[in-house]
């Protein structure tokens, strides 16, 4: 395989991982988790979202979270937004970047944002005009890129067109999201190859769920065609508020552990992530889907054997 020497891990657990939890996570624990993630070596953390708290109650304390975290130098703390109002709140909270979602399915865009795709793209232009002068990077995410629970298969050309529309607005960091876990290694290879060929000046991040157990296989398929930015969630937490089908994101500790085993640098300390996941698991009172959280790393096991 054509594996990279290094990848960038984008941690989305504090937002995408926690938003599906029915029990409210105390603000202090959210802040503690983000600070631990910062200390692990991660340089990109999606800390929260500025959305309607009636729809996503877990994110009702987003302003407090952003005020309370220790902002480590060199770490970008981003937030997800869905509209211009969210952008205004994110600017006031002094985020480093905003993630703006546009769905590759008209039905899903209406369900998730209460807007058409065309209206979302128009809002994106306004968000750029608001954020970029403030030094805040705008990162569009093309959601349900590998399939939609309402429309079925999403044509590859539609994803290419949406990514192209974002690039035409001057945006060069674009996330491609497998929102409900419908991607396979073959579909990942096809789509990411097509995107990189069509838009060679763009950097594509891949946001994957592990709904059908193909998450890390999809990572390897994407690496093989040159993708080096991957989004993951500590403990494998996550889901999707508009469908009950999408289980957790790929686990950050599982992703980092796989890279460690393959000799791919991440600059992330897997044991720090594992301990942080354990804190959340203890609070939630249920097992999280991360394999490394359960079994530990091979290196840790051999170290224990050597000390025995």
CA-CA distances (angstroms) from residue 46 to 12, 78, 96, 140, 233?
Answer: 5, 5, 10, 13, 10
**Which of 232, 289, 227 is closest to 264 using CA atoms?**
227
Q: Are strands 173-177 and 8-11 parallel, antiparallel or unpaired?
A: unpaired
| Other residues' Cβ atoms within 10 Å of the Cβ of residue 287 | 10
Spatial separation of the C-alpha atoms in residues 174 and 172, rounded to whole Å: 6
Q: Give exposure, 116-137, as e/b (b: 16+ Cβ within 10 Å).
A: ebeebbebbeebbebbeeeebb
Q: Quick check: is 240 catalytic?
A: yes
> Judging by beta carbons within 10 Å of its beta carbon (0-12, 13-18, 19+), is residue 60 exposed, middle or buried?
middle
The helix (run of H) or strand (run of E) holding residue 128 is helix 117-131
Q: Are strands 76-81 and 229-232 parallel, antiparallel or unpaired?
A: unpaired
Our measurement of the distance from residue 116's CA atom to the centroid of its chain's CA atoms, rounded to an integer in Å, reads 23
Q: Which of 44, 103, 175, 240 is catalytic?
A: 240
Q: Is the dihedral of CA 292, 17, 203, 42 positive or negative?
A: negative
Is 60:30 a contact under the CB 8 Å cutoff?
no
The helix (run of H) or strand (run of E) holding residue 140 is strand 137-143
What length does the chain have? 308
Spatial separation of the C-alpha atoms in residues 97 and 252, rounded to whole Å: 20
Output the six-digit token pair for 226.
């040159």
Q: What positions carry a catalytic annotation?
A: 240
């Amino acid at each position: 395989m054509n594996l990279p020497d290094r990848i960038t891990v984008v941690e989305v657990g504090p937002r995408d991982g926690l938003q599906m939890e029915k029990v409210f996570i105390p603000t202090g624990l959210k802040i503690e988790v983000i600070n631990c993630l910062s200390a692990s070596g991660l340089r990109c953390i999606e800390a929260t979202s500025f959305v309607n708290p009636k729809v996503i109650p877990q994110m009702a304390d987003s302003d407090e979270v952003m005020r309370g975290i220790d902002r480590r130098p060199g770490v970008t703390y981003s937030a997800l937004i869905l509209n211009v109002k969210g952008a205004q709140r994110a600017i006031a909270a002094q985020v480093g970047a905003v993630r703006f979602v546009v769905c590759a399915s008209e039905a899903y865009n209406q369900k998730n944002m209460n807007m058409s795709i065309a209206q979302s793209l128009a809002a994106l232009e306004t968000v750029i005009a608001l954020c970029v002068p403030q030094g805040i990077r705008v990162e569009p995410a093309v959601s349900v890129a590998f399939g939609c629970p309402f429309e079925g298969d999403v044509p590859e050309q539609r994803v290419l067109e949406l990514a192209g529309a974002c690039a035409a607005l001057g945006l060069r960091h674009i996330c491609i999201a497998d929102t409900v876990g419908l991607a396979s290694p073959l579909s990942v290879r096809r789509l990411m190859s097509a995107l990189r060929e069509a838009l060679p000046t763009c950097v594509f991040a891949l946001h994957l769920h592990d709904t059908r157990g193909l998450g890390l296989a999809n990572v390897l398929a994407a690496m093989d065609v040159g993708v080096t930015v991957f989004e993951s969630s500590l403990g494998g937490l996550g889901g999707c508020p508009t469908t009950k089908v999408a289980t957790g994101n790929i686990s950050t500790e599982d992703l980092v552990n796989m890279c460690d085993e393959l000799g791919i640098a991440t600059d992330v300390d897997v044991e720090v992530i594992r301990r942080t996941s354990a804190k959340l698991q203890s609070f939630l009172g249920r097992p999280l889907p991360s394999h490394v959280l359960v079994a530990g790393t091979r290196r840790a096991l051999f170290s224990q054997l050597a000390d025995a």
